[in-house]
Amino acid sequence: GASVWIILSKLVDYTVVQIGNEDFYRHWDKFSALRYFAFAVLGTILSVRKYGDPILRRRAKPVEAVTPAIRTVIADMIDTMYDEIGLGLAAPQIGVPLRLMVVGDEESREARALINPVITEQGGEITAEEGCLSLPGVFAPVPRAEWVRLEAQDPEGRPVAP
């Protein structure tokens, strides 16, 4: 099972090198069919990209439409986030170059997907110890805004309520 996933993943990675990153990202949905097949056959826990992976440094593209494929990615991201014992996961962290993230609630264990999120307002500052799934085992104090307002869509394509 895992070896099939590795072969399919390497095939997609090889395709990126052969056709160039820009063309790959422009036609991501077409090339991702191999990975969707692998997810369906092998399960929904995805590999989290680690620090140093070039996709983590690229600007993600907006999600143009909320499709069944995007909903599948969201479900897989939620499964992966909880399997990795995380509270948040961005699509580039699983190799998907789109503006999409999932966040979990520590108390309820419910997750929420945010499609094309944009911070519209923020205020205050708070510092708390944080970790990152792409930097396993590293925890450090990180200053952040104490509160934020954002615009985003949910998996049904509706605006997220504040």
Q: How confident is the model at residue 83 (pLDDT cuts 50, 70, 90)?
A: confident
Q: What is the predicted pLDDT for the residue at 24?
A: 44
Q: How confident is the model at residue 109 (pLDDT cuts 50, 70, 90)?
A: confident
Helical H runs in the chain? 2-19, 21-26, 28-31, 33-42, 68-83
Q: What is the pLDDT of residues 138-155, one digit of tens each?
A: 999 999 999 999 999 999
* Chain CA centroid to CA 93, Å: 5
36, 9, 6, 31: which is closest to 20 by C-alpha? 31
| Lowest mean per-residue pLDDT among 33-42, 57-66, 78-87 | 33-42
Whole-prediction pTM = 0.72
71, 108, 73: which is closest to 87 by C-alpha? 108
- How many CB atoms are located within 10 Å of the residue 34 CB? 15
Q: What is the pLDDT of residues 22-52, one digit of tens each?
A: 444 445 555 555 555 555 555 578 889 999 9
Spell out the residues 6+ positions from residue 63 whose beta carbon is closer than 8 angstroms to its own. Answer: 70, 98, 99, 100, 115, 116, 153
What is the SS3 assignment for 46? Answer: coil
Q: How confident is the model at residue 14 (pLDDT cuts 50, 70, 90)?
A: very low
What is the SS3 assignment for 121? Answer: strand
124, 126, 111, 114: which is closest to 150 by C-alpha? 114
Mean pLDDT over 69-82 rounds to 90
- 82 or 11, which is more confident? 82
Tokens at 22, concatenated: 């820009």
